Amino acid sequence: MRQPAFNESWPESWKLSHAYDLEEVFGQVRYYGYVYAYQRRMRQTLDLVQHIAQPPATVLDVAAAQGNFSLRLAEMGYRVIWNDLRGDLADYVLLKHERGDLKFASGNVFDLGLDGAFDVVLITEIIEHVAHPDEFLQKIGRLVKPGGHIVMTTPNGGYFKNRLPKFSDCPDPSQFEAMQFKPNSDGHIFLLHVDEISGLAAKAGLKVEQIRIYTNFLTNGHVKTEALLKVFPRYLVETLDTLTARLPWLLRKKLHTGMAVLFSRPE
């Protein structure tokens, strides 16, 4: 992945994407917890894709923003379609593209005639911004080939510091429609809990193949631990995260901030 040189004439959307990129992938760290969490999310996502599909499988990256997951997968040999409502970001992603099969499909992904076209669909950090996550997952399921897979990441609603509502406890999600699709954590509506995933999958005609919980509160810089991350060596942070990942399931759900889910669409 190529690091683009900042240009003051760029549109604001490019400047914002570049600022995130500097921290997420190019090593100019301001908030260590944010970077550790982002990198672990990418690692989990790429690992799940490799687990269920080998290159040159087709991958759709929905709401892909600055395209870092798309670019990595293209470099690994997958045939990748980048998608985002913000079509102006496509040219920014191209500045970083060095190699691999990467194409672009801007706009509302459900209006692009892509049903049943992909081996794998990525929905990373999207569903928590949607007022109707059940309907969203149903529509995403139609984009996958029979026998294909969906890789979803989302914040873990069972994390002990979560204060947002549980989707299954909300009688009228339509009240949140006006605030959906906002970027960053300001736009989080619901945080899904592990025990909600099977019901959402069944309603969408999908099967849950695997659920992973990852990134503990220290790795994420929560509970006033960001200062520790500035002085702890990376190997120590990674070791502590690995240790908490071996705790009993009930404790893991409380102590970890991220969730990755692998769904399959039956043949």
Return the domain boundaries, the chain.
32-264
Please report the pLDDT score of residue 37 as a whole number.
Answer: 96
Backbone angles phi, psi at 120, to 5 degrees: -140, 140
Tell me the C-alpha distance between 10 and 14, whole Å: 6
Please report the pLDDT score of residue 180 as a whole number.
Answer: 81
Please report the pLDDT score of residue 176 as a whole number.
Answer: 85
| Mean pLDDT over each residue of the chain, to the nearest integer | 95
pLDDT tens-digit series, residues 214-266: 999 999 999 999 999 999 999 999 999 999 999 999 999 999 999 999 999 99
Share of the chain above pLDDT 70, in %: 98
Does domain 32-264 fall under CATH 3.40.50.150? My reply is yes
pLDDT tens-digit series, residues 134-185: 999 999 999 999 999 999 999 999 999 999 999 999 988 988 887 787 666 5
Please report the pLDDT score of residue 187 as a whole number.
Answer: 80
State the DSSP code for 161: T
Query: Cα 78–81–85 angle (5° rounding)?
Result: 150
User: In the structure, how many helices (H) and strands (E) does the chain have?
Assistant: 9, 7
Over residues 111-120, the mean pLDDT reads: 96
Whether the CA torsion 61, 63, 66, 68 is positive or negative: it is negative
